[in-house]
Amino acid sequence: MEIDEKLEDLYMPSKWVVRVPVEQAVPVHVKVTIEESERVRNNVNGKLGVKYGSDVGDVVDLFNEECSSKQMMVYLSGGYWQELTGDISAYTVAPLVAAGHCVAVVHYDRAPKQDMGGILAQVERAVAWLVRYAREKGMTVWLSGHSAGSHLCAMLLSSGWYEGLPHREKSIVRGVIHLSGVFDLLPLLSTSVNTPLKMTKFEAEQFSPLNQSNMDKLSTAKHLQHLVVVGENDSPAFKLQAEQYVEELQKRGCQVSHSVQEKEDHFSLVERLMEGDYSLTQQMLAFMEIV
């Protein structure tokens, strides 16, 4: 499929960054996430590389397992399902641990190593394992994801796996935090994002959280709390998708909050989650107190 230049710009978050030159946005993001993740992995009490499945890449990093809050935040990083790694995705951990929570940073193999169906199956294995782990530890679970990671969180909660859980296990998952998420994959078919993914139109529809069937399945879990956040300097496409997703959740009677983080862009929105006094960090911690 030919690249649509207008869609290419709308779905390239770096094009909308104003705090640094456009070409520096991604390198700066990678540098920040590498440095903070390395600091966390070296200094915060945790178990790295815990196996959640039989595949080589099926690992999760667990921080502060013996948490006082008995609450676990699961984090799925972005990178358009093809960039970044779990090793550099521990940058949200420190303030959550300081507040008494456990944090699970999920690793997953990205395109072109596997396609979208494979990625979704892998993160489903991860979160299924974490829900069982949380049940044994007497914990509740919150999901969070950035960009493509947000998409994966949404699809997990629309999956046959989650729909089929007994009520007791389903209710262990209390809510989800979407950080500049992608909820409709169809526009990506006309962008370079799809080059390694090779999604068909059918697959893009099937794997879109905004697909009506996926929304209907998600809305059966009325206990779930949803927080949908974008940056003021996010792309108009990401802002629009967030608004559409919130509207669909509201129409179905789901519990959802929506906020725009002033002055932040697609990358700084999550880079600053290493800061305990950052307003979004505080918002997320407060969100976890909702019963």
Q: What is the DSSP letter of 70?
A: -
CA 201 vs CA 152, 186, 189, 194, 238: distances in Å: 18, 7, 7, 11, 20
Per the annotation, the verdict on 68 as an active-site residue is: no
The partner residues of 229 in beta bridges, in order of sequence, read 179, 259
Percent helix, strand, coil in the chain, to 5, is 45, 15, 35
CB 126 within 8 A of CB 159: no
CB 224 within 8 A of CB 176: yes
* Token output for 88: 């550099």
- pLDDT tens string, the chain, 291 residues long: the values are 789 999 999 999 999 999 999 999 999 999 999 999 999 999 999 999 999 999 999 999 999 999 999 999 999 999 999 999 999 999 999 999 999 999 999 999 999 999 999 999 999 999 999 999 999 999 999 999 999 999 999 999 999 999 999 999 999 999 999 999 999 999 999 999 999 999 999 999 999 999 999 999 999 999 999 999 999 999 999 999 999 999 999 999 999 999 999 999 999 999 999 999 999 999 999 999 986
Q: Is 21 exposed, middle or buried (0-12, 13-18, 19+ CB in 10 A)?
A: exposed
Closest CA to 60 of 125, 155, 140: 125
Sequence-distant contacts of 122-129: CB under 8 A, at least 24 apart: 122/53, 122/55, 122/57, 122/58, 123/76, 123/152, 123/156, 124/156, 124/159, 124/161, 125/52, 125/53, 125/58, 126/52, 126/53, 126/58, 126/60, 127/74, 127/156, 128/161, 129/52, 129/53, 129/60
Per the annotation, the verdict on 266 as an active-site residue is: yes
Active-site entry in 87, 184, 234, 265: 234
Determine the pLDDT at residue 88: 98
Active-site entry in 29, 77, 266, 268: 266
Active-site entry in 14, 147, 158, 268: 147
- pTM for this predicted structure: 0.98
Calpha distance 77→118 (Å, rounded): 16
Calpha distance 119→54 (Å, rounded): 15
| Phi, psi (deg, nearest 5) at residue 52 | -115, 0
Calpha distance 25→29 (Å, rounded): 6
Calpha distance 141→66 (Å, rounded): 14
